Structure 1
Amino acid sequence: MPERTVELTGHVIDSGTMQRAFGVVMDMGGEFHVEQFDVGSRKDETSYCRMTVAADTAAELESILHELHQNGATVADPVDAAVEHAPADRVVPKDFYSTTNHRTEVRYDGAWIAVEGTEMDCAVVVDPDAEGGPRAYTEPLSGVEAGDLVVVGEAGVRVHPPERPRDAEGPFGFMQGGVSSERPSESLVREIAEVIVETQADGGNVLVVPGPAVIHAGGRDALAELVRAGYVDALSAGNGFAVHDLERDLYGTSLGLDVETLDHPRKGHKHHIYTIGSIIRAGSIPAAVEDGLIDSGVMYECVTGDVPYVLAGSIRDDGPLPDTITDTVAAQGAIREQAQDADVVLLLATLLHSVAVGNCLPSDTPTICVDIDPATVTQLVDRGSAQATGMVTDVGMFLPRLVEAVEAVEPGDDTDGSGDDTGG
């Protein structure tokens, strides 16, 4: 039987990596033999496993090795990664390495190089002549240029899935529970508030991704307050969110509905398109703020507080607003820059933009998803954003409570939690 030796290192017991690796081999019809297994006996010690994997055919073995690679296993006695020149702009070599969203390294010229800009579904480009030595970085297929050295195959590539924390202490400790629909909501809101406050206190970056439902459900004022208070460093949304936020300022409605009285004013269904027309005449959202046309809301606070925002367009957009990026590739690039700079991401009631931003995030970026539908978080996880922790609730009720909790938190507060004392 063809066989290869692979290695696993890190907190592979607590993180479940060992069990997943064994399961992959058996489920795919292979066999494994553990040659060496060193177990970390303290919380700060890692474990090491070296095992031989075998299969009936070379093709089956390659499939098993591919799945093990995705879970952090590395082929023992590694070789340098294979690289080939891209034959043309936006054309990658056959069998190019497609990235995961896990921290990745490639072996080049006998040394392991950390891949910059961790993101799923990209190519890895090696620049051997970079100042300071060779560098490697992810590049979406749309950004590959003729002559780029692109990594081909999985040999010489290793990934590092995020490991389970040693314990549940600290402001990020609660983010291990998947979708939270039964936990006491007040304690969970406080824990999220502590994440935001601690991130800001440490000089980190909080990215908020809101959907139009934030405006419909009555969360506009609370989100605007978070922006005004300096707890939002960047905002990523779509044309619809901005239109409804601006409509609320101009007409007191959101998609024609009076948010306060729930009445439908006469011609209310035209308010959103009237709003777009007004902003186009002004020239942009910042110009409308400067002219005094817009004087409240989330977009107003972003403009006056110099908080950068990205409005990514879609085929469904009315107008769109002059600030909306209608070039898909350009919008992806703008979202990608925001995602790579983020230390914490808060996804608020928007499936499409949650998935879009989630696709650009490294797997070790804490991500909190608030939605009335638990399927939103499930879809995020299914599409690779396994780090997403969900809170199932009405975003219009969540945001005001979050503002109160943020105001009550002092930097340095910790959440309560119990840890796992197992090493490895």
Structure 2
Amino acid sequence: MTATRTVELEGHIIDSGMMQRAFGLVMDLGGDFEVEEFVVGKHKDKTSHCRMAVSAGPDEDDADLQEILHELHQIGANLIDPVDARVVPAPADQVVPNGFYSTTNHPTRVRYEGEWIDVENIEMDCAIVVEEDDDGVRAYTKVLNAIDEGDLVVTDEAGVRVDPPERPRDASGPFGFMQGGVSSERPSESLIKQVAEALEETKREGGKVLVVAGPALIHAGAGDDLARLVREGYVDMISAGNGFATHDIERGLYGTSLGMDMETMEHPRKGHKHHIYTISEVIRAGGIEEAVEEGLVGSGIMYECVKNDVPYVLAGSIRDDGPLPDTITDAVEAQNAIREQAHEADMVLMLSTLLHSVAVGNCLPSTTRVACVDINPATVTQLLDRGSSQAIGMVTDIGTFVPTLADEVLTGDSSVTDGGEDADAAEGDAAGDDN
């Protein structure tokens, strides 16, 4: 007799395409399904409900059914059986039990001793640990290298519920204007205004804004405007690499970014050495904060971060020159520092950096507002492909976006023409140094 399990889908499952994806997944994996109940929400503010029995097909086994259930679970189809999650002690440090539950980035609950518990610090590709103490029971995510021997790790999908956030059917909500996905053919001015409104709303509500930035932002001439946003309190944290901070400080010391004069766009004699001279001077001072305090660094984004107590994480790369003393060169340590920022963020602006955008995106829950801006649509597409489905993308020159955003937020006055007049200067958005 073929094993059968019942799953249910709830919410705007028709508009979001969840129901069609569920049917397609079952058929693609060789299974079968029967819809037992289907209630359609007939108004925009009404949700739908579908309950269906899923089997692995006559020629399949329980392992095949488990694979189907796993894939359905990832898109928000939950087992209807009210059973407790199965927890198994970790056999050793950094070792999880076979069949451990690997998280999505969606809000998640686990059932333990008859009670549903919210999973804390949700992010994708982690294990769920259940812990009992004097204050009760809690469930939270752990990356694999943080697992301790004896941790009670959730295995299988039974007793786990996932609730993917849904975008509105119409253009309402903070990111309703981006419902069409990634495109370079929408009016830049109106989109930037919408992002500015979301940024202002986040701050009004007491939320925190994280900026993930690449060095192309400096090359494209947007450094002063990001510095303005930091100074005026619209940026709470920055995540970047060694190259971003180096080129920002280089501009203040020499007027160049990666050797190019930011005023004339020419390459002065020995300009190509300015970035390494910059690193040397900051090392001599003892770090970025020390360089600011002694007056070596007197302007720029890193200067404003120090002066306004805005924390920053500079994650190292194998390509780094120097690096700056503030750069975290241990990959796991850098990942943990990025993770702390991501868990605190309520809105994230990802500006012209592929590698750091994907790294931060992997640590974010799907409920966090994310806007990714790059001249190359492949950057946004790859972020979405990696699982950051909540990210919305804007394909435009970062040298146009940041100044216009700053004007919109700080003065309410923006003027920008569509297109990408500075696209040549922003080629580094995707192709340049991403440190």
TM-score range (shorter-chain normalised) is over 0.9
SS of the residue aligned with 2:296?
coil
**Structure 1 counterpart of 2:47:** 46
**Structure 2 counterpart of 1:89:** 93
**Structure 2 counterpart of 1:26:** 27
Contact in 2 for aligned 1:180/1:389 (Cα 8 Å): no
Contact in 1 for aligned 2:32/2:56 (Cα 8 Å): yes
**Structure 2 counterpart of 1:183:** 186
Deviation digits for residues 88-147 of structure 1 (CA, Å, limit 9, x no counterpart): 22111121111111111111111111100010011100002251x211000111111111
Distance 1:92 1:271, change over 3 A: same
**Structure 2 counterpart of 1:113:** 117
Is 2:260 the counterpart of 1:236? Answer: no
**Structure 1 counterpart of 2:348:** 345
Q: Could you tell me how far 1:207 is from its partner in structure 2?
A: 0.6
**Structure 2 counterpart of 1:367:** 370
Contact in 1 for aligned 2:214/2:353 (Cα 8 Å): yes
Counterpart CA distance in 2 for 1:175 and 1:128 is: 42
Contact in 1 for aligned 2:313/2:327 (Cα 8 Å): yes
Answer with 338-347 or 38-47: which moved more: 38-47
Counterpart CA distance in 2 for 1:75 and 1:196 is: 37
- Opposite residue 85 of structure 2, the aligned amino acid is A
**Structure 2 counterpart of 1:102:** 106
Contact in 1 for aligned 2:167/2:176 (Cα 8 Å): no
**Structure 2 counterpart of 1:4:** 5
Distance 1:104 1:215, change over 3 A: same
Answer with 135-144 or 162-171: which moved more: 162-171
Deviation digits for residues 159-185 of structure 1 (CA, Å, limit 9, x no counterpart): 111112254224332232321311111
Counterpart CA distance in 1 for 2:9 and 2:233 is: 42
**Structure 1 counterpart of 2:36:** 35
**Structure 1 counterpart of 2:324:** 321
Normalised by the length of structure 2, the TM-score is 0.91
**Structure 1 counterpart of 2:228:** 225
Q: Could you tell me how far 1:48 is from its partner in structure 2?
A: 1.8
**Structure 1 counterpart of 2:433:** none
Equivalent of residue 381 in structure 1, options 384, 390, 410: 384
Is 2:17 the counterpart of 1:16? Answer: yes
Normalised by the length of structure 1, the TM-score is 0.94
Structure 1: gaps of 5 or more residues: 411-424
Is 2:71 the counterpart of 1:67? Answer: yes
What percentage of aligned pairs have identical amino acids?
70
Deviation digits for residues 235-254 of structure 1 (CA, Å, limit 9, x no counterpart): 00001100000111111111
SS of the residue aligned with 1:174?
helix
Equivalent of residue 295 in structure 1, options 289, 298, 321: 298
SS of the residue aligned with 2:303?
helix
Contact in 2 for aligned 1:239/1:311 (Cα 8 Å): yes
**Structure 2 counterpart of 1:391:** 394
Contact in 2 for aligned 1:125/1:150 (Cα 8 Å): yes
SS of the residue aligned with 1:171?
coil
Q: Could you tell me how far 1:282 is from its partner in structure 2?
A: 0.6
SS of the residue aligned with 2:178?
coil
Q: Could you tell me how far 1:39 is from its partner in structure 2?
A: 2.3
**Structure 2 counterpart of 1:422:** none
Q: How many residues align?
A: 409
Q: Which has the higher contact order (CA 8 A, sep 6+)?
A: 1
**Structure 1 counterpart of 2:197:** 194
**Structure 1 counterpart of 2:425:** none
Counterpart CA distance in 2 for 1:391 and 1:49 is: 34
- Opposite residue 207 of structure 1, the aligned amino acid is L
Q: Could you tell me how far 1:408 is from its partner in structure 2?
A: 4.2
Structure 2: gaps of 5 or more residues: 414-435
Counterpart CA distance in 2 for 1:76 and 1:352 is: 39
Is 2:126 the counterpart of 1:125? Answer: no
**Structure 2 counterpart of 1:416:** none
Aligned residues: CA RMSD: 1.4
Counterpart CA distance in 1 for 2:207 and 2:12 is: 26
